[in-house]
């Protein structure tokens, strides 16, 4: 599996990221539009945790937040913040920049756009609302 799938089996704040099966069917080899379904599932898993989703919302509002500053926004410990940031980084959702001894995070270009385009294309196939 790719780097985006390396979060499989990680435990963050008591939550275990599930294995790479969907409804009992392995998705590791399936490809859609050049990307594997497993990679997309890993991105969605990274987004699905409330703290990680909140981190992305904070980064959208204030790019370049330092890792230590996230504890102001979330009622979790610094090691838990670091573990969540690792999951987001491995899913390709955030990038880092070192300033001295501080590591600052920003939303990574591309990954959210690709996922948004996929979801928009899927939504376009839905029948009109009645």
Would residue 9 count as lying in a domain? yes
Contact of 107 with 93, CB cutoff 8 Å: yes
Taking the whole predicted model, whether its pTM rises above 0.85 is answered as no
Q: Does 126 fall in a domain?
A: no
The domain tally of the chain equals 1
pLDDT in tens, the chain (130 residues): 344 434 334 444 444 334 433 444 444 445 555 557 888 889 999 999 999 999 999 999 999 999 889 999 999 999 999 999 999 999 999 999 999 999 999 999 988 988 888 889 989 998 988 8
CATH number at residue 114: 1.10.10.10
Q: Which domain holds residue 28?
A: 3-121
The region that residue 72 occupies, defined by phi over 0 for left and psi between -120 and 50 for alpha, beta otherwise, is alpha
- Whether 129 is in a domain gets the answer no
Residue 127 placed within a domain: no
Q: Is residue 45 part of a domain?
A: yes
Helix, strand or coil, per DSSP, at residue 127: coil
Residue 130 counted as domain residue: no
> 86 exposed, middle or buried (CB, 10 Å; 0-12, 13-18, 19+)?
middle
Confirm whether 128 is domain-assigned. no
């Amino acid at each position: 599996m790719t780097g985006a799938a390396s979060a499989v089996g990680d435990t963050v704040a008591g939550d275990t990221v599930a294995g790479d099966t969907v409804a009992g069917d392995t998705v590791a080899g399936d490809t859609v539009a050049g990307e594997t379904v497993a990679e997309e599932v890993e991105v969605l898993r990274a987004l699905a945790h409330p703290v990680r989703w909140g981190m992305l919302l904070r980064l959208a509002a204030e790019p370049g937040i330092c890792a230590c500053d996230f504890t102001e926004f979330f009622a979790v410990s610094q090691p838990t913040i670091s573990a969540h940031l690792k999951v987001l980084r491995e899913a390709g959702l955030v990038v880092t920049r070192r300033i001295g001894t501080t590591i600052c995070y920003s939303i990574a270009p591309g990954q959210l756009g690709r996922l948004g385009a996929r979801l928009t294309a899927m939504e376009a196939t839905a029948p009109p609302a009645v």
